[in-house]
Every structure is written in C-alpha cells, then in structure tokens.
C-alpha cells in the first residue's frame, strides 16, 4: 500500500469554473494523482497523489503549463 501525499497550492489566476476544470483535467492526467480539488473563491488547489509516482515539481509544471502558475 502506498502513502498518499497532499499538496496545496495557491494560484492567483484562478477565476472561474473553466479554470477549475482545466486544472482538474491537467492534474488528473499525471500518473499517481488520485484527487484534485479546486476552490475558485480561495484560488486554492489541493492535490492528493502517490509521492512514489508523482512529484511536486510535476504538479507545479502542469499548473504553469495550463496558465495558472502557483505560489509556493
């Protein structure tokens, strides 16, 4: 059994449900990511993932690629 890690990022450019859907789709495509939650009002992204399969850097890069650079 693998341990799940939770990563929280703030992405100031999140402004709508379209943003949330784009982020959810991009992060869900990363191997090892098991859950993505986007709070549009708080501009917050929570990601649950298997640290043996994915990294913080991969998650941050996917956010940046979608146009939502996270604050670290």
For the whole model, what pTM was predicted? 0.92
Q: What is the 3-state secondary structure (H, E, C) of 16-61?
A: CHHHHHHHHHHHHCCCCEEEEEEECCCCEEEEEEECCCCCHHHHHH
Task: Compute the average pLDDT of residues 26-36.
Answer: 98
Using the structure block, give the residue that is written with the tokens 């009002």. Answer: 41
What is the C-alpha to C-alpha distance for residues 13 and 2, in angstroms, rounded to an integer?
Answer: 33
Mean predicted lDDT score pLDDT of the chain: 95
Per-residue DSSP letter, 3: P
Looking at the predicted structure, is the pLDDT value of residue 2 above 80? no
pLDDT per residue as tens digits for the range 33-60: 999 999 999 999 999 999 999 999 999 9
Report whether 40 contacts 14 (CB < 8 A).
yes
pLDDT at position 3 is: 84
């Amino acid at each position: 059994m693998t341990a799940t890690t939770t990563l929280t990022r703030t992405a100031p450019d999140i402004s709508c449900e379209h943003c949330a859907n784009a982020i959810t789709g991009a992060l869900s495509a990363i191997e090892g990511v098991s859950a993505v939650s986007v709070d549009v009002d708080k501009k917050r992204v929570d990601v649950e993932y298997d640290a043996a399969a994915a990294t913080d850097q991969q998650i941050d890069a996917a956010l940046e690629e979608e146009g939502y650079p996270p604050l670290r």
